[in-house]
Amino acid sequence: LVWNEYELLSGLIGKANRFLGSFVVITHGIRIFGICSVTYSLLHKYQTEPMAMGQYLSSLIMQVFCLVFNTLLASRLYCVSARLRSTLAALLSAHWDSVPKDDQPVITLFLGRLQSEPLAASPLHLYNISPSLLLSIASLSITYLVILLQSK
């Protein structure tokens, strides 16, 4: 019963990834570009007009907030999947002897399925949206910003 519900949920997530994947990828790209360009403009304006930094700073804060909020919201699926995996493993390790011998191989296969393909938003199957994606985005943004600053 649980496996059927899991597979149904996995299928729905797969459909959502296909339908909304390009939108999510484009949104992440726009946010990264926006953060880098506003930061670059902020640093440039600081050298020429320190008083005009307020609008750039508020735009930067809004861009970062939107990116972090959307990523954390989309990564909840990944976190819940990890919690399901750990809770199920803890319950089964505590009660493995009471599970009927006929059900043990099926439960083992289900745990393997949970380990191999966790439920996660994965736009166009390019990357999984998890909380660690924020570190990757920060690294990419800093690298792009360094390239922008060196080109001046």
DSSP string of 8-64, one letter each residue: HHHHHHHHHHHHHHHHHHHHHHHHHHHHHHHHHHHHHHHHH-GGGHHHHHHHHHHHH
For residue 1, pLDDT beyond 70:
no
Percent of the chain with pLDDT over 90: 27
Supply the mean pLDDT for the chain. 86
For residue 7, pLDDT beyond 90:
no
pTM of the model: 0.77
The pLDDT of residue 89 is 85
Q: Can you tell me the distance from the alpha carbon of 152 to that of 140, in angstroms, rounded to the nearest whole number?
A: 19
Question: b vs e for 34-43, b when ≥16 Cβ sit within 10 Å of the residue's Cβ?
Answer: bbbbbbbbbe
- Can you tell me the mean pLDDT for 102-123? 83
The pLDDT of residue 63 is 92
Percent of the chain with pLDDT over 70: 99
Name the token pair of 84. 């399901």
pLDDT band at 105; cut points 50, 70, 90: confident
For residue 2, pLDDT beyond 80:
no
Q: Can you tell me the distance from the alpha carbon of 106 to that of 35, in angstroms, rounded to the nearest whole number?
A: 48
pLDDT in tens, 26-83: 999 999 999 988 888 888 877 777 777 888 888 889 999 999 999 999 999 888 888 8
For residue 152, pLDDT beyond 70:
no
> Which residues have a Cβ under 8 Å from the Cβ of 13 and sit 6 or more positions away?
77, 119, 120, 121
Name the token pair of 54. 């307020």
Nearest CA to 44 among 61, 63, 60? Answer: 60
Other C-beta atoms lying within 10 Å of the C-beta of residue 90: 10
The number of helix segments (H) and strand segments (E) in the chain equals 5, 0
The pLDDT of residue 106 is 83
